[in-house]
Amino acid sequence: MRVFVAGVSSEYQYTRGVLAFRALETRPGDNAAVHYGATGLVARKALCSEFLRRKEYDALMMLDLDMDYPPDTLERLRVHDKDIVAGHYYRRQLDPAMSLVEISPDGTWPYMPLLDTPKEGLHEIACAGFGCVLIKREVIEAVVKTLPPLAHPFDNGPLEWLTGSALSLGPDKRFFAMARKLGFKMYLAASVRCKHAVTAWFDDEMYDKIRNRKSQATILAGYWLDNLGRYGVNEKSIKFRLQSLSLEREAVLREFIAVKEGKPLEELQPFILKLNEYDNRMAECTDWINGIKASVQFPTVPGDKLDEAEMSRTYNPPDEGAELRSQVMTSTAMSWVKMIDGD
């Protein structure tokens, strides 16, 4: 398998990411190219188009240069010989801290975020980012054949047959969903762990330290609402709910453990009642999954709403986009300072 290794870089870059790209182990016949100084969308489309023109390559390796990855990343993905196989990394966000990987065993929308990521093995998934992924040529060419003339497989766009709405999906979700519809499968090579630059280098150790269970529970509650509204009460929606309740309970338990020393029982009673409430609501979900449905009162919906910014994507002109990115970088840096200072 000859691989076209494509690196995506903005106008500024992290030396560590560039060095990781240069240190990547390749085989004779592989080739590497970097598209520098453009948005990720533009760069990925250009590199994919170049790959499609170069028929001598059997697969496309997409790598983002704001990441640090092991030198043998390509070899460890190539050895699996899968249609699509990805390494693992986390999103460039802190609250909630989330993996890029999403799953959907039944193939329906919405996908479920993978909160507890495996560290070993090969796992079928629904979606990951374009930051570390190996895709065979036949997958991309098959997707291209389903598109209208001049449309690009790595473009943004809606997939109403998947989402049931005009919601515009990012190029990664859109491409991987189209490939999956055509019968191709995507896998996570869980042992390939990449560090993502978010002021610090985001890895498993950092994720475990800053993971916010309450925020992740809110995200899952939103996915649950979407699934519930689209498909009604089913096993998938119940599992969304069970996972969000488990995260909420864990957050309450951590708070309880932190304050319980030296407190009289009457002050701890609210925590105990809350934990019992979560246990009962989780038991209802488990009973539903196990087929005991007749007497179950399905838990009521929380008041939290989905972030509207996640429901629509808008194009920003270059100047406006640069200003927004600057604001995000400043906010992210301040979040890290507060965490380090313990504020």
Chain segment 26-44, per-residue pLDDT in tens = 999 999 999 988 888 999 9
Has residue 84 got a pLDDT over 90? yes
Name the amino acid, one letter, at 124. Answer: E
Model pTM score: 0.80
pLDDT in tens, 158-213: 999 999 888 899 999 999 999 999 999 999 999 999 999 887 888 999 998 888 98
Has residue 315 got a pLDDT over 90? no
- pLDDT average, residue stretch 112-132: 95
Structure tokens belonging to residue 38: 């453009």
Higher-confidence position of 125 and 287: 125
Yes or no: say if 156 and 169 are a contact pair by the CB < 8 Å rule.
yes
- pLDDT average, residue stretch 55-81: 96
Has residue 314 got a pLDDT over 80? no
- pLDDT average, residue stretch 268-280: 87
Has residue 241 got a pLDDT over 70? yes
| Segment among 29-38, 78-87, 258-267, 326-335 with least mean pLDDT | 326-335
Could you tell me the pLDDT band of residue 303, with boundaries at 50, 70 and 90?
very low
Q: Give the 3-state secondary structure of the chain.
A: CCEEEEEEECCCCCHHHHHHHHCCCCCCCCEEEEEECCCHHHHHHHHHHHHHHCCCCCEEEEEECCEECCCCHHHHHHCCCCCEEEEECECCCCCCCCECCEECCCCCCCCEECCCCCCCCEEEECECCCCEEEEEHHHHHHHHHCCCCCCCCCCCEECHHHHCCCCEECHHHHHHHHHHHCCCCEEEEEEEECEEEECEEECHHHHHHHCCHHHHHHHHHHHHHHHHHHHCCCHHHHHHHHHHHHHHHHHHHHHHHHHCCCCCHHHHHHHHHHHHHHHHHHHHHHHHHCCCCCCCCCCCCCCCCCCHHHHCCCCCCHHHHHHHHHHHHHHHHHHHHHHHHCC
Tell me, rounded to whole angstroms, the distance of Cα 14 from its chain centroid. 22
- pLDDT average, residue stretch 77-102: 94
Report the alpha-carbon distance of residue 79 to residue 43 in Å, rounded.
Answer: 27
Could you tell me the pLDDT band of residue 71, with boundaries at 50, 70 and 90?
very high
Residue 331: the pLDDT is 63
Has residue 296 got a pLDDT over 50? no
Has residue 23 got a pLDDT over 70? yes
Instruction: Write the burial class of residue 186 (CB in 10 Å: 0-12 exposed, 13-18 middle, 19+ buried).
Output: buried
Average pLDDT, the chain: 85
Residue 46: the pLDDT is 95
Residue 335: the pLDDT is 63
Has residue 83 got a pLDDT over 60? yes
Could you tell me the pLDDT band of residue 316, with boundaries at 50, 70 and 90?
very low
Yes or no: say if 244 and 278 are a contact pair by the CB < 8 Å rule.
no
Residue 267: the pLDDT is 85
Yes or no: say if 229 and 162 are a contact pair by the CB < 8 Å rule.
no
Higher-confidence position of 235 and 85: 85
Structure tokens belonging to residue 116: 């507890």
Has residue 7 got a pLDDT over 90? yes
Has residue 14 got a pLDDT over 50? yes
Report the alpha-carbon distance of residue 168 to residue 313 in Å, rounded.
Answer: 6
Q: Percent of the chain having pLDDT more than 70?
A: 84
Could you tell me the pLDDT band of residue 327, with boundaries at 50, 70 and 90?
low
- pLDDT average, residue stretch 112-141: 96
Selection from 141, 152, 236, 136 nearest residue 185 by Cα = 136
Sign of CA dihedral 308, 310, 316, 319: positive
Residue 124: the pLDDT is 97
Report the alpha-carbon distance of residue 45 to residue 203 in Å, rounded.
Answer: 28
Selection from 182, 209, 181, 205 nearest residue 193 by Cα = 205
Residue 304: the pLDDT is 41
Tell me, rounded to whole angstroms, the distance of Cα 334 from its chain centroid. 23
